[in-house]
């Protein structure tokens, strides 16, 4: 259930640029300098950033704006790390995998912040 996000990945030293075929945020971007900052934001960009931080301890910054995700990793990106980050973005709106098993962390819904 849900559709995978199609991505185009560009590796620029410590920065991985991930362009998507759909928007994750509005025009305003969201930047996270730590997992704690991402975990404190229940909106879609915070949830996505939390998953990226959890996937690799060398990630130290995530920026999400519209259909762009920018991830900085100290020491640069190897092919496996770049593919892992891209897969997290690709699967962000999936509730179930092709084999029917639940996606880890699914559903990718934002928590209500209303009081």
* Distance in angstroms between the alpha carbons of the first and the last residue of the chain: 30
Decide if 44 is inside a domain: yes
Residue 108: the pLDDT is 47
Decide if 102 is inside a domain: no
> Considering its fold, how many domains does the chain have in total?
1
pLDDT confidence band for 73 (50 / 70 / 90): very high
List own/partner pairs for 8-13 with CB under 8 A and 24 or more apart: 9/82, 9/85, 9/86, 11/77, 11/82, 13/76
Residue 111: the pLDDT is 45
Helix (H) or strand (E) holding 28: none
Q: Kindly report the CATH number assigned to the domain that includes residue 15.
A: 3.30.1370.70
Domain that holds residue 66: 7-90
What digits encode the pLDDT tens for the residues 18-60?
A: 999 999 998 889 999 999 999 999 999 999 999 999 999 999 9
pLDDT confidence band for 99 (50 / 70 / 90): low
Task: Work out the percent of the chain whose per-residue pLDDT is above 70.
Answer: 82
Packed helices 79-90 and 44-55: angle between N→C axes, nearest 10 degrees: 150
CA 51 from chain center: how many Å?
6
């Amino acid at each position: 259930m849900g559709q995978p996000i199609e991505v185009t990945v560009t590796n620029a030293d410590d920065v991985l640029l991930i362009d998507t075929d759909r928007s994750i945020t509005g025009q305003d971007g969201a930047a996270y300098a730590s997992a704690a900052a991402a975990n404190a934001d229940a909106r879609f960009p915070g949830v996505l950033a939390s998953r990226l931080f959890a996937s690799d301890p060398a990630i130290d910054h995530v920026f999400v704006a519209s259909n762009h995700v920018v991830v900085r990793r100290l020491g640069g990106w190897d092919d496996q790390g770049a593919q892992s980050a891209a897969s997290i973005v690709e699967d962000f709106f999936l509730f179930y995998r092709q084999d029917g098993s639940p996606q880890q962390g699914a559903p990718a819904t934002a928590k209500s912040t209303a009081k």
